Amino acid sequence: MREVYVAGIGITTFTRLEYPLVEIASYASMMALKDAGVTEVDQLYVANMGAPRVNHQTALGSAVADSLSLLPAGAAAIENGPASGAAAIKAGFQAVASGMDDVVLVAGVERMREVNNLEATDFVATLTHPLTEYIYGVTLPSHAAMFARLYMEKYGVTERHLAMVGVKNQNAALNNVWAHLQQGITLEGILDSPEAMTNNPYVAEPLRFFDACPVSDGGAAIILVSKEKAQELGRPMIRLSGIGQATDTHAVFEREEPTDLLAVRNAARAAYDMSGLGPEDIDVAELHDAFTILEIAESEEVGFFPKGEGHIALEKGETALGGKIPINVGGGLKGRGHPVGATGVAQAWEIVTQLRGDGEKRQVEGARTGLSLNFGGFGNNVVCLTFVRED
């Protein structure tokens, strides 16, 4: 199997964007192509979840290929719920690893604010089980709230711990010009003051407004290349060293222990195995904090902390910049935003930025290895990637 490197990255601001969907993907892609110094690709994959419904558009692969004048490159779109981005990176990896392609563009894009928040919530909910969850009105906030409640009862996590994740990540976004939320928050403001119940009402108890990521538009892109091509292009040699993907029961109620995220555990283990790394080797991580409780649970399932102790590590500052394993230093989904199809690619974008040493105020000093975890469904489809800087 050929080794695969990241030669270029690009991103748009995550916010409400008034550009057509294809332009958003193309903007991020152009940045990535320019960053890599390539003008032709063999294949492109576009990660997207909702365009057929939300934007009345299909065949995104062709549309982006044409918009970027990349014809006659192969092109297709990949839909894998909120884990579409990393699934597309996996497909792109395999295209290069197989030897069939030398240069692959992976772009993730979503334009969710073309519909109102209610429809956006419904569209995301279509990833739940159609016959046992979706038709009964379950949404992702309700899934996350039930999960949080169980986690609190079992492991002693409190609403304060959840709020601490939110404060950490939303404030981290202030160090990332591409992030959606550019407003600092404090525990005082969202939890401890008389105004907190107004500023930060329950959305799905015990989750409050500031426990959820915003609804964002945005795009992100990376260029995957063979080793020879990477050396020729001369960018920092960052190898996509591990890919693990795992599915779990589509319906959450079928899981033996609903507080376990087996797909996260299995995906991370597979990525570690492939890369020859362990959790203790990771310098910087991007976890999928669509809801604050998820960062805590995922930080355990990927092996950074023992099960049930993620919130304790959080309290100690171990997951903050400067801590033992800085998580979501660019804001995470909570602060950067979560244009669903773009997120997995944006996570890779942040890790590569860190391994290049380009993180500026949010740089993890001396970071040489990184991990990103893209969480689809409510934990039914998870992709974990590891990256290593080699030069």
User: Which residues ranging from 321 to 380 are in contact with a copy of itself (CB under 8 A)?
Assistant: 376-377, 380
Q: Which lies closer to a copy of itself via its Cβ, residue 26 or residue 299?
A: 26
Q: What is the CA radius of gyration of the chain?
A: 19
Q: What contacts 373, CB < 8 A, 6 or more positions away?
A: 264, 267, 268, 285, 286, 287, 288, 298, 302, 347, 382, 383, 384, 385
Q: How far is the CB of 310 from a copy of itself (least distance, A)?
A: 22
Give the 3-state secondary structure of residue 32: helix
Q: Can you tell me the distance from the alpha carbon of 121 to that of 138, in angstroms, rounded to the nearest whole number? A: 10
Residue 84 binds to a copy of itself (criterion: CB under 8 A) = yes
Q: Which lies closer to a copy of itself via its Cβ, residue 7 or residue 267?
A: 267
Residue 177 binds to a copy of itself (criterion: CB under 8 A) = no
**Residues 91-120 within binding reach of a copy of itself (CB under 8 A):** 91, 93-95, 97-100
**Residues 188-247 within binding reach of a copy of itself (CB under 8 A):** 243, 245-247
Q: Which lies closer to a copy of itself via its Cβ, residue 130 or residue 276?
A: 130
ω before 72 within 30° of 0 (cis)? yes
Q: Which lies closer to a copy of itself via its Cβ, residue 224 or residue 284?
A: 224
Q: Which lies closer to a copy of itself via its Cβ, residue 178 or residue 378?
A: 378
Q: Which lies closer to a copy of itself via its Cβ, residue 319 or residue 380?
A: 380
Structure-block tokens of residue 223: 């260029």
Question: How many residues interact with a copy of itself (rule CB under 8 A)?
Answer: 73
Q: How far is the CB of 147 from a copy of itself (least distance, A)?
A: 17
Q: Which lies closer to a copy of itself via its Cβ, residue 15 or residue 43?
A: 43
Q: How far is the CB of 114 from a copy of itself (least distance, A)?
A: 12
Tell me the C-alpha to C-alpha distance, in Å, between residue 109 and each of 42, 81, 205, 373.
20, 12, 30, 17
Q: How far is the CB of 311 from a copy of itself (least distance, A)?
A: 26
Q: Which lies closer to a copy of itself via its Cβ, residue 87 or residue 388?
A: 87
**Residues 41-60 within binding reach of a copy of itself (CB under 8 A):** 43, 48-60
Residue 386 binds to a copy of itself (criterion: CB under 8 A) = no
Dihedral angle, C-alpha 82, 85, 91, 97, nearest 10 °: -140
Q: How far is the CB of 162 from a copy of itself (least distance, A)?
A: 25
Find the angle CA(377)-CA(381)-CA(384) to the nearest 5 degrees: 125
Q: How far is the CB of 388 from a copy of itself (least distance, A)?
A: 18
Q: What contacts 303, CB < 8 A, 6 or more positions away?
A: 268, 272, 278, 279
Dihedral angle, C-alpha 34, 37, 43, 46, nearest 10 °: -20
Burial class (CB in 10 A: 0-12, 13-18, 19+), 391: exposed
DSSP labels, 332-379: HHHHH---HHHHHHHHHHHHHHHHTT--GGG--TT--EEEEEEEETTT
Q: How far is the CB of 183 from a copy of itself (least distance, A)?
A: 31
Q: How far is the CB of 49 from a copy of itself (least distance, A)?
A: 6
Q: Which of 262, 302, 320, 327 binds a copy of itself (CB under 8 A)?
A: 262
**Residues 128-147 within binding reach of a copy of itself (CB under 8 A):** 129-131, 134
Q: How far is the CB of 6 from a copy of itself (least distance, A)?
A: 17
Q: Which lies closer to a copy of itself via its Cβ, residue 21 or residue 388?
A: 21
Residue 21 binds to a copy of itself (criterion: CB under 8 A) = yes
Q: Can you tell me the distance from the alpha carbon of 65 to that of 72, in angstroms, rounded to the nearest whole number? A: 8
Tell me the C-alpha to C-alpha distance, in Å, between residue 202 and each of 57, 155, 156, 352.
34, 21, 20, 35
Q: Which lies closer to a copy of itself via its Cβ, residue 130 or residue 201?
A: 130
Output DSSP code: residue 204: E
Q: Which residues pair with 220 in a beta bridge?
A: 11, 108
**Binding segment toward a copy of itself, per CB under 8 A, in 155-163, 166-174, 259-267, 363-371:** 259-267
**Binding segment toward a copy of itself, per CB under 8 A, in 66-74, 136-144, 193-201, 298-306:** 66-74
Q: What contacts 219, CB < 8 A, 6 or more positions away?
A: 11, 12, 24, 25, 26, 27, 28, 29, 107, 108, 109, 110, 339, 342
